[in-house]
Amino acid sequence: MPRLLFMAVVSLALPARAQIHSELATAACLSADQDSTASPTPLHAREPRVDRLEEALEELGSAGAASVTWTAISNLVVGGLLVGFGAWVLVDHADAGADDSSVVAGVLAGAMGGALLASSVHAVVGRRTTDQLRVERWRTLRAKGLLDDRALARFEGELAAEAEFARWSRTATGVLYIGVGAAGAGVIALAAADQVPHGSRGLAYLEGGLLIALGLWQSIANLAGTSHTEDVVRRYLDGETSPQVSLTAHATGAQLRLSARF
């Protein structure tokens, strides 16, 4: 019986799949025909658009490089602290008997610290960001005189995709920090219910309060604000130029970006 059911499902799915592939092939052929018959618009009539797009690409490239630098520094510092803390916990509790919790805490701290250190090294010696590579591709095409409406459309599509991913990532981060704040409230609730050792109750209240504050701050900043990428793409689509000097807070909540153009 299960085999007959499986064969029935497959027999129903194959025609639908064939129809989908047929529709995709037809759409691809129509798109290819349109591309082959359409003629690119000369860029001499589009120079303001070209300049604004280049400005947006360069702004994202500079911001990406700065973000990588600061991320590498912070990961290096935090990773080193976590590795040191993990090693101290393991060594300090080596003769503490069957204290499995300290071993688990030390190993987890060391693992997270090692991952952050590796991420920091990769940021320093690794490849350039996608924003920087995109700027280089743009400059190469413009220097060779190969920019047309199709090329601009491709770069605009990349910017739209970057903005959409930034929006999704910002929203996901905001939801994540709601969980962090809820965890802090749970720690405080356990301490208030006498489920935490009396000597550690003050520390539990402190850590729970910090988690609640961090969760509220980051969730509001991410869910109510916008990212720098979204701002850049929005300004380009609205035909705006970058402000000469601006001091703006972005979705991380902890980041103030000072930008100046002369």
Establish if 57 belongs to a structural domain: yes
Establish if 96 belongs to a structural domain: yes
Establish if 251 belongs to a structural domain: yes
Establish if 181 belongs to a structural domain: yes
pLDDT over threshold 80, residue 31: no
Sequence-ordered list of residues with C-beta below 8 angstroms from that of 236, at least 6 positions apart, any chain: 52, 53, 55, 56, 159
DSSP class of 44: G
Q: Which residue has the higher pLDDT, 59 or 93?
A: 59
Confidence bin at 183 (pLDDT 50/70/90): very high
Asked whether residue 165 falls in the same domain as residue 134, the answer is no
**Rg of the Cα trace of the chain?**
27
Establish if 12 belongs to a structural domain: no
User: Tell me: the pLDDT tens digits for 190-216?
Assistant: 888 887 777 778 888 898 999 999 999
Q: How many domains does the chain have?
A: 2
Sequence-ordered list of residues with C-beta below 8 angstroms from that of 50, at least 6 positions apart, any chain: 43, 142, 147, 152
pLDDT over threshold 80, residue 167: yes
Establish if 35 belongs to a structural domain: no
CA-to-CA distance for 9 and 177, rounded, in angstroms? 42
Asked whether residue 143 falls in the same domain as residue 185, the answer is no
Establish if 38 belongs to a structural domain: no
Q: Tokens at residue 124, please?
A: 């320093």
Asked whether residue 187 falls in the same domain as residue 257, the answer is yes
Asked whether residue 140 falls in the same domain as residue 170, the answer is no
Establish if 90 belongs to a structural domain: yes
Asked whether residue 131 falls in the same domain as residue 184, the answer is no
Q: Which of 94, 129, 147 is the last residue of a domain?
A: 147
Candidates 227, 228, 223; CA nearest to 242 is 228
User: Tell me: the pLDDT tens digits for 235-260?
Assistant: 988 887 655 444 444 444 444 444 44
Please say whether the beta carbons of 209 and 188 come within 8 A: yes
Asked whether residue 94 falls in the same domain as residue 169, the answer is no
H helices of the chain, in order, are: 2-37, 47-92, 100-125, 130-143, 149-192, 201-224, 228-237
Asked whether residue 143 falls in the same domain as residue 210, the answer is no
What is the per-residue pLDDT for 27? Answer: 41
Asked whether residue 236 falls in the same domain as residue 170, the answer is yes
Asked whether residue 161 falls in the same domain as residue 217, the answer is yes
Asked whether residue 185 falls in the same domain as residue 132, the answer is no
What is the per-residue pLDDT for 115? Answer: 92
Print the domain residue range for 90.
Answer: 45-147
Asked whether residue 136 falls in the same domain as residue 156, the answer is no
- Start-to-end CA distance of the chain, whole Å, equals 75
Please say whether the beta carbons of 91 and 105 come within 8 A: no
Q: Which of 91, 117, 147 is the last residue of a domain?
A: 147
